[in-house]
Amino acid sequence: MSEIAVVAGGRAAWRDAPDTRRVLQLALAGLWLLDALLQYQPMMFSRAFGQSLAATADGNPGFIARPITWDATLIQQHAVALNVVFATIQLLLGLGIAFRPTVRLALAASVAWAVGVWWFGEGLGGVLTGTASPVTGAPGAAILYALLAVLLWPARAVDTRAARSLWLVLWLGLAWLALQPANRAPWALHDTLAGMENGGPGRMAALERDAATLIGGHGLAVSIVLAAAFTLVAVGVYLPRPAAVTTLVLAIAIAGVIWAVGEKFGMILAGGATDPNSGPLLALLALAYWPARTAPGEAGRP
């Protein structure tokens, strides 16, 4: 088993950066900044934003759904004022992580904010509804922001064992979601992708259409393949370095496919997106788990 670079404080082999953790922190800061800018879009200042949040309550247990409905109603009533606050908080999180003296404060605040958004804005990513699909963004982008903030904490918030456990839980969770009845039904994935054709440039719609046609009624087979790939990625961080690297590359490739096909690049070009969805975050997470470079003379040590 190899050491994880950002957790161990070492250098990842993928880059000769002086501080891998800092580079990944800056990527996280960039994503928060992008979220803030998307949150400033004109549509977010209308009642439509609150209505889209209210929709995430559907299918959730009552104790999860009721606060979402309350929150969404409040946002619809005070759409402008609250959205100014939301967007500005995210702007400050992005700038705060990028600015070295405030990185700890901003990372800590980002965990609290991300967990709040995961519940009140994403309905826990739909993981309790039985219909959430990893292909379309489950378990929700917000919780991945929180996970990244914990992993990239400047002073090792978690040890290697805990970090690996979090990775295992995340990817086994994705495998479990892929095999849920709503996702493994023969035409489920086809219908999901076909339903995403509208919105965005024509080439993206063509990509969705082609992917839906390719999958057709083979939803069960695709779900099994996805679950197997997710499981392989999940256990990959426990393998020796070369195998771990291979599974992390696989994780990045899966994240890319999910982002392009299932998430339509976060629907950013279609307008109305508040974040780039889970694809870029899964890829960033994979980079955060990149094994540390073995120092000369360490090879072969127990």
Partner 1 sequence: MPPALILDAFAAVMLAVAAVSAARLAAARPWRRGETVADIDIAHLLMAIAMNGMLTGSLRTIPVVAWESALSVLLAWLVFRAARDVRASGLRTLPAVHLVHGAAMLYMFLAAAQPSRYPALAYAFALILAGYAVWDLDRLSAGRPSAVTAGCRTAMGVTMAFMLIVMA
Q: Which is nearer to partner 1, 98 or 166 (CB)?
A: 98
Q: Which is nearer to partner 1, 14 or 45 (CB)?
A: 45
* Beta carbon of residue 10, minimum distance to partner 1 (angstroms, whole number): 20
Q: Which is nearer to partner 1, 98 or 172 (CB)?
A: 98
Site for partner 1 in 242-301 (CB under 8 A): 268-269, 271
Q: Are residues 75 and 50 in contact, defined by beta-carbon separation less than 8 angstroms?
A: yes
CA–CA separation, 222 vs 229, rounded Å? 11
Q: Which is nearer to partner 1, 181 or 201 (CB)?
A: 201
CA dihedral 59, 61, 67, 71 (to 10 degrees): -10
5, 6, 8, 33: residue in contact with partner 1 (rule CB under 8 A)? 33
Q: Are residues 24 and 287 in contact, defined by beta-carbon separation less than 8 angstroms?
A: yes
- What residue type is assigned to position 91 of the chain? L
Q: Among the candidate windows 68-76, 79-87, 105-113, 167-175, which touches partner 1 by CB under 8 A?
A: 79-87
- CA-based nearest residue to 275, from 78, 30, 51: 30
| By CB under 8 A, residue 201 contacts partner 1 | yes
| By CB under 8 A, residue 125 contacts partner 1 | no
Q: Which is nearer to partner 1, 53 or 106 (CB)?
A: 106
Structure tokens at 168: 């295992």
* Beta carbon of residue 99, minimum distance to partner 1 (angstroms, whole number): 5
101, 202, 242, 300: residue in contact with partner 1 (rule CB under 8 A)? 101
Q: Residue 205, class by beta-carbon neighbours within 10 Å (0-12 exposed, 13-18 middle, 19+ buried)? A: middle
Q: How far is CA 161 from CA 144, 150, 153, 168, 176, in A?
A: 18, 14, 16, 11, 22
41, 76, 231, 294: residue in contact with partner 1 (rule CB under 8 A)? 41
13, 64, 74, 95: residue in contact with partner 1 (rule CB under 8 A)? 95
| By CB under 8 A, residue 241 contacts partner 1 | no
4, 5, 12, 38: residue in contact with partner 1 (rule CB under 8 A)? 38
- How many residues bind partner 1 (CB under 8 A)? The answer is 26
Site for partner 1 in 156-195 (CB under 8 A): none
Structure tokens at 8: 């161990």
Q: Among the candidate windows 94-102, 144-152, 177-185, 223-231, which touches partner 1 by CB under 8 A?
A: 94-102
Q: Are residues 129 and 183 in contact, defined by beta-carbon separation less than 8 angstroms?
A: no
Q: Is the dihedral of CA 213, 250, 35, 122 positive or negative?
A: positive
- CA-based nearest residue to 65, from 133, 113, 123: 123
| By CB under 8 A, residue 91 contacts partner 1 | yes
| By CB under 8 A, residue 205 contacts partner 1 | no
Label residues 149-188 b or e (16+ Cβ within 10 Å = b). bbbbbeeebbebeebbebbbebbbbbbebbebeebbebeb
Enumerate binding residues for partner 1 (CB under 8 A).
22, 26, 29-30, 33-34, 37-38, 40-42, 45, 80, 84, 87, 91, 94-95, 98-101, 201, 268-269, 271
